[in-house]
Structure 1
Amino acid sequence: MQQFPLEMHHVAPGRVVEWRLRSSAVEAEGPGDPASRKASFNQDKHFTVAEESRAADDPVASWVAVTFEVTGPLDERALAQALLSFVQRHEVLRCAFRRLAGEVACEPFAPATLTLDPEHVETFEDADELSDFLVERFKRSIDTLSWPLFIMGAVVREDSATVYLAFDHIVCDGMSMPIVAREVLTAYEGLCRGEAVELPPAPSYLDFAEEQRRRYLSIDARDGRLDYWKAFMGPAGEFFPRFPLDLGVEPGRMYPIVNEASMLLDAGEAEVFEKTCLAVGGKPFMGVLGSVAVCLREAGGPGVYRGFMPVSERGRSTWTNSVGWFVNTLPIEFDASPGRDFAQVMASVRAGFSEMMTHLDVPFVRAWELLAPEEFAARSWPYPVNFFSYIDMRKCPGAERHDEWRPTTHVWSARANGACSWFQRDTDGLHMNSIYVDTPAARRTMGDFQEALRLTVQEIARSGGFRRPVALTPQRRPVRGTPLDVAAFARRG
């Protein structure tokens, strides 16, 4: 399973059908008393930004989506029932959000009130026209302030179908996407066989949010659990770690985005890279993070890496099968100074990560609100922020069927003022998806950085360390890094 822009996804043309979620409670008198449940810290901030942006006529938007394949003629009735059962199973997907007494409240509609209305949208003969349609459909259909907060549809052909679901971030995270694919397809296959499918327990994200608020709403800036954050901020008092390279952005300005993906290592190289990391006491994500730090340093950044890293809050069992926004974001710092070899950098990454994980409990949004209140009041992060994310998709729910289902994740944001990069490992290799500001400086900087990183991780796989210079001279500067062959990925099966 990979993550790459929807624009890069080759979806064969066909007839587009969508299923509109409807609740009899909405049509009757609304969802009831929304004061009974409260949004999580992540959801509250996300909803507040959407409200403020709408009021300022400066709307922000983002979505996360998943697409996957069904082989053979599609049973539309069975798919509709699988989709409805999926929404009924996950309480957060049935929620309406609204502002109430200064807080963001959410109230789920009862499963029995929900129905799906099928709608034939359009038939496409051309793949490029279909791609353009889907991109615009996702952009225009997802609205944080309107229910429902996702769309569901399929591109139907005689002998196959591509199913898609796109969500506002307020109801899910990236790790929810493999859950979506597994549950919908497992239920669909069972219905086609005439069998009842029993899925593992999936506790409600609303319960997680309630427990989180109960534990952390009352803390203040003097709480000892914030000491790690305070130490990271240092004398300068900067809550956000700056992206250390030039992106050509002006303070306070948001920009259109570039959304691109590339392959860093093929399957064989990724396997050798993993063994090389394990040989020095690290893990593959530590090797990638250490390589990122070295490439940033070689391009003019500092020897000490400082960045944000999202960490899953699902735990090892409780929330494994639940859909929701189970992401905390924490700062990480480690030494990648010149002269340190691969083993030494890996030891620094391991130490920095271990220290970070001992402070996982405080929610990012709560720390932000308490320690940087002026920046918290803004609608975006104050400047380009150093951000690193890594997921081993081979360990996701349903990974044993990914070669058959061919699920893909797609993320999009209307605008940005910095750069974010996500790394994914799957059976095909190691991949990188980046969203960054569309400026000439950012295109040069990110192009150079991506190519340097690709050369670095390949060198580690070949020789076991940082033996070649990773900085790119103007003569070696590529137009683009190695592209991700998403068309071949989509056709495979």
Structure 2
Amino acid sequence: MDFQQILDAPIEPGGLVEWIPAVPGGLGSWRRDVRETSHNHEQHLRSAFEYRALTHREGGRESWLGLSIEFDEPMSVPAVRTAIVAYINRHEVLRTHVVLKADRQAHYRTERYTTQTDTVHVKVARIGWYTETPLLLEQIAGSFDRATAPLHWPAYRFATVARPRSFTLLFAADHSLVDGYSLVTAHHELTELYRAAREGRPPMLEPVGSYLDFSDAQRRAADAADTDHRAARTWAEFIGRYGGTMPPNPLLTPLASSPTRPIGASEANEPAPVTPVQPARTRLLLDDAAALRYEDYCAASGASLVGGLLGALAVAFRATTGADDFAIIMPRHTRTERSWSHSLGWFVGLAPLVVDVSDDPPLAEAARRSTEALTATRHGSELPFLRVADLIGLAGSPTMVVSYMDTRATPRAAAGDEGGARVLRSHSYADDEVYVWVNRTPGGIRMHARYPAHGAEEVSVFLDRFADLLARTAKDG
């Protein structure tokens, strides 16, 4: 399944309709929910709150993730409505809202409010008929940007693009409500809910746990942790290598890594500098046969597939920058119980990883070192990043992030690889971040990346070297 920036998605034009969740009486009818907010969610809301205070801008913050699903049949309006309502009922995170409050000393606290199943309905807004994909995507992107603002409910939106013999179902939600794996499983769930509604039968889906229960348990455990926690120790050792701060990213020039005010910010009534939209790259690195050969190479080298991919990135990083360390941050899932397997939510922790490449190791050795580093630092994700930062006094945020996900065991993964669905993301304006996603899917190994528009010329060189190294190794061993 491709992971694309929304404006790059190949969605066929047609009649655009938005499906807007609503509750009669608004949030005033919701109950106060004593379950705690996750650190991830609170950190996200803090950032949104500070952004609004600085820019005086409402609306989305370009931090949403989404999904598009293709159906080769005329759209049934009643079935779409039934499927959307059933999906909202299935996932409690879509029926809750967290309010962030701050006092004059910038001390934050959160309050959660939740509504029961069968209280949310959807309103239909017919936007119009589009004959050109670029104009359609601009409309969808703008709507999703505004609709997914995390300080408001609902911070998500559904849409459909209907044609005489086919239609596309779209879903977007603020990152506080979903992670990448949530969208992969949403492909199966939304498809099954639509089919069941169309055929007049109960949907065949496993029960799921609530992200609210997970958040509450994780928050209480994290708040009880101290600096002796192994996650805190892992992070402290990592930043200790770099003087107690996040490591610099040698792929970025000072121009790209210098702080820039967000769009709309102003100082002394002067226009704020505008950070351009980040470029994006999407590429199939290896087809399934080549990916299997690369997996065999990794195994023969004493490395895992993930270690082999990180090793190739480390070798390419060394060749591009001359850096002695390949220092990155890796998202790692926290779905530690079966009940969370298909839950909608933000089940992600962050772990640091360093691979020593100062001696220009060959790929096999870099793959082994990466595999060992994955094991050595795996505990870093056991505490949310906000809690770790509080415990060890860490300031700043990651600037070099590499994510890996294997979707081969996910229902309907093969159909997604064949173009039946795509994970979408909003555009980003960050000028100091490089993100690389590498996914193993039924169709092979795919890469997706985003990076600053200026001062990041070496990122393309780095990504090309990585892709070339994988291709040559998969071919020649």
Q: TM-score, normalised by structure 2?
A: 0.89
> Aligned residue for 1:137?
143
Choose the corresponding residue for 1:177, options 183, 195, 199. Answer: 183
Task: State the AA in 2 paired with 1:41.
Answer: H
Q: Which residue of 1 aligns with 2:39?
A: 41
1:162 — aligned with what? 168
Counterpart residue number, 2:89:
88
Match status 1:242 vs 2:248 = yes
Matched, 1:306 2:327: yes
1:328 and 1:57 mapped to 2: Cα distance? 29
Deviations 1:149-194 (A, max 9, x none): 1010110011111110011011111110012111111011112111
Are residues 1:221 and 2:227 paired? yes
CA shift digits 1:280-305 (9 cap, x unpaired): 23232222111111111111242332
For 1:137, give the aligned amino acid.
S
Is the CA contact (8 Å cut-off) linking 2:230 and 2:379 kept in structure 1?
no
1:251 is aligned with what amino acid?
S
User: Is this contact kept in 1: 2:312–2:367, CA < 8 A?
Assistant: no
Q: Aligned pair 1:387/2:401, yes or no? A: yes
Cα 1:205–1:332 change in 2 (3 A) is same
Is structure 2 residue 374 aligned with structure 1 residue 353? yes
TM-superposed deviation, 1:224: 5.4
Displacement of 1:47 after TM fit?
Answer: 0.4
Amino acid corresponding to residue 448 of structure 2 in structure 1: N
Write the letter of the residue equivalent to 1:410: L
Q: Does 1:252 align with 2:259?
A: yes
Q: Structure 1's 235 and 270: CA in aligned 2 closer, same or farther, altered over 3 A?
A: closer
Retained in 1: the 8 A contact 2:63–2:426? yes
Q: CA deviation at 1:459?
A: 1.4
Amino acid at match of 2:426: W
Offset, 1:332: 1.1
**Which stretch of the first structure deviates more once superposed, 57-66 or 340-349?**
57-66
Note the C-alpha offset of 1:367: 0.5
Structure 1 residues 393 and 189: alpha-carbon distance in aligned structure 2, compared to 1, 3 A threshold:
same
Instruction: Tell me which stretches of 4 or more aligned residues in structure 1 moved more than 4 Å.
Output: 222-225
1:225 Cα offset (Å): 4.7
- Partner Cα distance (1:355, 1:58) in 2: 44
What is the correspondence of 1:239-318 to structure 2 with a 5 Å cutoff?
A: 239-247=245-253, 248-253=255-260, 255-256=275-276, 257-315=278-336, 317-318=338-339
Q: What SS class does the counterpart of residue 311 from structure 2 fall into?
A: helix
Bigger drift between 179-188 and 220-229 goes to 220-229
2 CA distance for matches of 1:364 and 1:117? 37
SS in structure 2 of the partner of residue 431 of structure 1: strand
**Contact 1:244/1:386, CA 8 A, preserved across alignment:** no
Q: Distance in 1 between matches of 2:349 and 2:231?
A: 15
Whether 1:399 aligns to 2:413 is: yes
1:189 aligns with 2:195: yes
Q: In the alignment, does 2:128 pair up with 1:122? A: yes
Residue 2 of structure 2: aligned partner? 2
Q: CA deviation at 1:249?
A: 1.7
Counterpart among 401, 426, 429 of residue 441 in structure 2 = 426
SS of residue in 1 equivalent to 2:342: coil
Which whole-Å CA distance do the structure 2 matches of 1:326 and 1:239 have between them? 25
Structure 1 unaligned residues grouped into runs of 5+: 465-493
1:103 aligned residue: 109
Does the 8 Å contact 2:227/2:233 carry over to 1?
A: no
Q: Over aligned residues, Cα RMSD in angstroms?
A: 2.1
Structure 1 length normalisation: TM-score?
0.87
Contact 2:63 2:175 in 1 (8 A): yes
Deviations 1:81-138 (A, max 9, x none): 1111101111111111202573122222111211111221111122222122222222
Indicate how the Cα distance of structure 1 residues 221 and 93 shifts in structure 2: closer, same or farther if over 3 A, else same. Answer: same
Q: In 1, Cα distance between the equivalents of 2:167 and 2:391?
A: 48
The amino acid across from 1:429 in the alignment is G
Displacement of 1:56: 0.9
Shift of 1:55: 0.6
Change (3 A) 1:78 1:356: same
Q: 1:403, CA displacement in angstroms?
A: 5.1
Structure 2, gaps ≥5 residues long = 103-107, 262-274
Cα separation, partners in 2 of 1:235 and 1:164, compared to 1, 3 Å: closer
The Cα offsets for residues 201-234 of structure 1, whole Å up to 9 and x where unpaired, read as 2100111111111111133335455222111112
Contact 1:92 1:324 in 2 (8 A): yes
Alignment of 1:410-425 (within 5 A): 410-416=424-430, 417-425=432-440
> Match for 2:349 among 308, 318, 328?
328
| Contact 1:25–1:113 (Cα < 8 Å) also in 2 | no
Of 50, 53, 66 in structure 2, the residue corresponding to residue 52 of structure 1 is 50
Matched, 1:338 2:359: yes
- 1:215 is matched by which residue type in structure 2? A
Alignment of 1:64 onto 2:65 = yes
CA contact (8 A) 1:290 1:336 kept: no
Q: Residues 415 and 421 of structure 2 are in contact (CA less than 8 Å); yes or no, is this contact kept in structure 1?
A: no
One-letter amino acid of the counterpart of residue 122, structure 1: G
Structure 1 range deviating more: 401-410 or 85-94: 401-410
